Amino acid sequence: QQPVQSPQAVILREGEDAVINCSSSKALYSVHWYRQKHGEAPVFLMILLKGGEQKGHEKISASFNEKKQQSSLYLTASQLSYSGTYFCGTESGGYQKVTFGTGTKLQVIP
Amino acid sequence: EPEVTQTPSHQVTQMGQEVILRCVPISNHLYFYWYRQILGQKVEFLVSFYNNEISEKSEIFDDQFSVERPDGSNFTLKIRSTKLEDSAMYFCASSVHRDNSPLHFGNGTRLTVT
């Protein structure tokens, strides 16, 4: 079953922060995060491997709450280049498969 | 940096025709995938492949679809008897490991069925 992301869309001014959430109805083994710019392929941002793990990538970081089957992506001091659609991808263990979430469209304006 | 390459970038075909979408995964990657995305919507899993066999497939991946690794570098998706609803962007991806490994995507093939 497809993970659900919230919000569906968000508009930020440069320098503002945002949080994107990803929830799954299935127990999660790991969570990936990808960004897709219009007309391009998804690009890997980071992967979180166990409950409670947090990771950072420039001013983008993420957390994974294994118990709640949720992950959050944090974007701080947003830049114009952060615009795009963000997808979480989940693995439930034992399968060669990443299931992508519903997506969150992020637009950063000057 | 090595990349996944896909050809063609755009394919137009008539309903009922067969198409073959081609992919060259990153050379040291062993695990391969096809995903599709209908006009800016969600990225849907179709199939995963390892060691010349399908590992997982979704409900979408029915008898109309097949995958093959015909040689040491190419990975293909064949769609038989295409339908209008097969119009989508098809992405190939590869990874180093089966689990917990980033997916590296190609730039996609836009398939238009008329």
pLDDT along chain A (110 residues), means of 10: 94 97 91 94 90 71 89 95 96 88 96
Chain B interface mutation, best of A98, A99, A100, A107, highest count of B Cβ atoms under 10 Å: A98
Contact (CB<8Å) B55/A101: no
The Cα diameter of chain A in Å comes to 44
Residues of B within an 8 Å Cβ radius of A: 31, 33, 35, 40-45, 48, 50, 55-56, 91, 98-108
pLDDT score for B40: 77
Radius of gyration of chain B (CA): 13
Cβ within 8 Å of residue A93, ≥6 positions away: A27, A29, B99
On chain B, the residues whose CB falls within 8 A of the CB of A99 are: 45
B59: left (phi over 0), alpha (psi -120 to 50) or beta: alpha
Dihedral angle computed from the Cα positions of residues A100, A45, A49 and B98, in that order, rounded to the nearest 10 degrees: 70
Q: How far apart are CA A51 and CA A64, in angstroms?
A: 5
Residue of chain A nearest B90, judged by CA positions: A41
| C-alpha–C-alpha distance, residues A100 and A91, integer Å | 9
User: Inter-chain contact A95–B35, Cβ cutoff 8 Å?
Assistant: no
Listed residue (A43, A39, A77) closest to A60, CA to CA: A77
pLDDT of residue A51: 62
Give the residues of chain B that fall short of pLDDT 70. Answer: none
